[in-house]
Amino acid sequence: MRTLTDLADLVALVESGGSDLFVRWSQGPDADAGGCSRDGLTGVRLPGLSANPLAVEPWWGDRSLKLWVARRLHDYRHLPERRGPGVRPWVLTGTEAGRGPDNEPLVQCREPVAWISDGVLRQCEELVREHDGQWGSLDREK
């Protein structure tokens, strides 16, 4: 699987990829071969992988696609710390199979597309920082 090393490449992928692109934070497609996540509270097996859509929502309007993508990654930047070694973001195409306990999409992976490099994550952080405001990750413990 290729690795995206520039935010512009990820933005181009989202521009061409339509509504079936998602980002997943895990050890990768091989580790996720079982095709399901588990609820952290109960351990219940969920009907897909927890992932977040990269498709732009209509309410975003004509704002920057680059900022949209940066936010999608920035919001979950805490996950490698929380989930352990080897956890990193990757892009997949998939179909929603339901919603998880945090209302996140549960996705049936059709095809792994690309890893997202640490360099892209740094670019996202810089872009979000430039826009100031009260943004932070969705890490509940911070």
Q: What mean pLDDT comes out for the span 119-123? A: 95
pLDDT at 138 over 80: no
pLDDT at 1 over 50: yes
Q: Where are the beta strands (DSSP E) in 9-126?
A: 21-26, 49-50, 52-53, 88-99, 105-116
The pLDDT of residue 73 is 92
Q: At what angle do helices 118-130 and 65-74 cross, to 10 degrees?
A: 110
The pLDDT of residue 19 is 81
Report the percent of the chain where pLDDT is more than 70: 92
* Selection from 32-46, 67-81, 111-125 with the highest mean pLDDT: 111-125
Prediction pTM value: 0.87
Q: At what angle do helices 65-74 and 7-17 cross, to 10 degrees?
A: 110
What are the C-alpha distances in Å from 106 to residues 9, 49, 59, 103, 118? 25, 5, 22, 9, 25
The pLDDT of residue 22 is 96
What SS3 class is residue 96?
Answer: strand
Helix residue spans in the chain (DSSP H): 7-17, 65-74, 79-83, 118-130
β-strand pairing of 21-26 with 52-53: antiparallel
Question: Mean pLDDT over all residues of the chain?
Answer: 88
The pLDDT of residue 122 is 93
134 falls in which pLDDT band (50, 70, 90)?
A: low
Q: What does the pLDDT look like over 40-99, one tens digit per residue?
A: 899 999 999 999 999 999 999 999 999 999 999 998 787 767 777 889 999 999 999 999
